[in-house]
Chains A and B, each alone.
Chain A
């Protein structure tokens, strides 16, 4: 497992696109100490490796296609309602390509 320290945690936060204060990183570091101790309970048991990872409690598949029923789409007003910046009936977004 990758070693954790304040710099690693800052890098993780940066990749998640948010920032935290220095004291918040200190709290997070202490939390990591506890979480890794808790995780060592799982890490100490080699028997676990015999098991397949479980992503969902049980198989729940939809094996048919739903009927193709036409529906009224959202009105333009409704679609734009939660947007704070609109121009010409469209949502204005920040520039992605400089």
Chain B
């Protein structure tokens, strides 16, 4: 009944007392139970009903009051199972809430479930979680993926079950699925949102992310999540701007750069046509578009640099999944037996492969040639991007080379399309920059998006230009009607 409504639409209904938080929560839970996209790890029925029943008087100036939302299952939730979609954490029930969850609960939003992900957020397809593949709500035949690793959160938002969901983003895990699912997908500046309670994958790249169906909602949620957290020493002390209040003021930052070689690596004509139309729209609104050049050699090195750094960091960060600190305690005779059994049974093949690659990159004989070299290349990449942003306010690009691929479709992992067009969003993680994907078109009924990246801690300007892009495309609040069969 309330499927597909935005935060602000639901807030209006709540303020007018045409609906109660309990109505919204029951409606969302009913839709969640019908979900056939494999988007949920756990539906928080009793917990959500208890919270929604206890909210008291409506708060007119708090747009998140009574709004249902979903949490990616790699964030700690007190007294609620949290698995990271990995068998190694089956049955784990945290004793605390992640800071972002705590902040949303304090704002009186109501969590209704935990969503599926690629195991421990390592993956980009939404197919490697312990519950199996997560499907794209726009494709009722279940032949297309929704993308990952934040697959479940993308699917529930695209299906209209909730107006927003929490995600995470290490390489593009929020912004790529946003492109495949017709969503606004946002990662903030590194350090803008606390990561306390987020399972670490590669902490030098990780951020919490957000899915919404319009830019206003994204600004509202971002404002609540931003700010220093004493429990996360990497969180920034910079003051938080009023994103929602400011975002409709004219954008003073008007210079947009388009990286020529990334656009040239994209072959899909409809993606390119829609992208070029938005460029025309930006120009009509007074934006200055500059085509800038980055060497194909540097762009081709993005993915391998990411892969080495992220696998190496993941290997060390998941060492605590040992059947003793976390994971199932087995009956092995020795310490090594216990740990080996827990990790052999608990991790899937894909995760083990990543750990071996990370470990190989960190071996004494290889460290300089692989890991340290990747870290040096990271600096070369970041300097290049920051130089572009000295002369320009934003970088604007298609978010992905195509609509959501079909399940099982293999890419040539040495092609420009894969290395450049499919993996360039990692630029935002290397440089720690705020980055947002918005839908810009449809092909065969499937959405695709474009991405804007701004300077560090300049989220307000990024929301302003995103709001303008949303006006250009007219694609606010799209969702897969009947996204759950």
Please name all residues of chain A whose beta carbon is closer than 8 Å to the beta carbon of B93 when the two chains form the complex.
81-82
Please name all residues of chain A whose beta carbon is closer than 8 Å to the beta carbon of B234 when the two chains form the complex.
56, 60
**Among B324, B347, B431, contact of A94 (Cβ-Cβ < 8 Å):** B324
Q: Are B370 and A39 in contact (CB under 8 A)?
A: yes
Q: Are B356 and A28 in contact (CB under 8 A)?
A: yes
**Among A2, A31, A38, contact of B363 (Cβ-Cβ < 8 Å):** A2
Q: Are B377 and A42 in contact (CB under 8 A)?
A: yes
Give bound CA distance, A16 to B374, whole Å: 22
Interface magnitude class on chain B = 35 or more
Give bound CA distance, A94 to B334, whole Å: 6
Q: Are A17 and B339 in contact (CB under 8 A)?
A: yes
Between B328, B337, B355, the greatest number of chain A beta carbons within 10 A of the residue's beta carbon is seen for B355
> What's the minimum C-beta distance from B371 to chain A, rounded to whole angstroms?
9
Closest to A8 in B: B360
Of the A-B pairs whose beta carbons lie under 8 Å apart in the complex, a sample of 5, sorted by A's number, is: A1-B365, A13-B352, A57-B433, A82-B95, A93-B324
If the complex has contacts A54-B376, A60-B191, are A39 and B304 also in contact, measured as CB distance less than 8 A? yes
Q: Are A52 and B376 in contact (CB under 8 A)?
A: yes
Please name all residues of chain B whose beta carbon is closer than 8 Å to the beta carbon of A60 when the two chains form the complex.
190-191, 233-234, 236
**Among B190, B233, B433, contact of A62 (Cβ-Cβ < 8 Å):** B233
Within 8 A of A (CB), among B255-299: 297
Q: Are A35 and B366 in contact (CB under 8 A)?
A: no
> What's the minimum C-beta distance from B387 to chain A, rounded to whole angstroms?
14
If the complex has contacts A2-B366, A42-B305, A43-B373, are A20 and B352 also in contact, measured as CB distance less than 8 A? yes
**Among B237, B303, B335, B370, contact of A1 (Cβ-Cβ < 8 Å):** B370
Interface of B toward A, CB cutoff 8 Å: 91-93, 95, 190-191, 204, 230, 233-234, 236-237, 297, 300-301, 303-305, 307-308, 315, 322, 324, 328-329, 332-340, 343-344, 347, 349, 352-353, 355-357, 359-360, 363, 365-366, 369-370, 372-380, 382-383, 413-414, 419, 429-433, 456
Please name all residues of chain B whose beta carbon is closer than 8 Å to the beta carbon of A87 when the two chains form the complex.
none
> What's the minimum C-beta distance from B106 to chain A, rounded to whole angstroms?
17
Closest to A77 in B: B95
Q: Are B414 and A17 in contact (CB under 8 A)?
A: no
If the complex has contacts A18-B347, A84-B328, A94-B335, are A54 and B375 also in contact, measured as CB distance less than 8 A? yes
* B interface SS class: helix
Q: Are A35 and B357 in contact (CB under 8 A)?
A: yes
If the complex has contacts A1-B370, A2-B363, are A35 and B377 also in contact, measured as CB distance less than 8 A? no
Closest to A19 in B: B344
Give bound CA distance, A48 to B376, whole Å: 6
> What's the minimum C-beta distance from A32 to chain B, rounded to whole angstroms?
7
User: Is A90 an interface residue, CB under 8 A from the partner?
Assistant: no
Q: Are B353 and A28 in contact (CB under 8 A)?
A: yes
Closest to A97 in B: B335
Q: Are A95 and B373 in contact (CB under 8 A)?
A: no
If the complex has contacts A20-B349, A20-B352, A41-B297, are A81 and B95 also in contact, measured as CB distance less than 8 A? yes
Extra 14 A-B pairs, beta carbons < 8 Å, given A12-B363, A98-B334: A1-B365, A13-B352, A16-B352, A19-B344, A24-B349, A28-B352, A31-B353, A39-B308, A53-B372, A54-B375, A56-B234, A60-B191, A62-B233, A74-B95
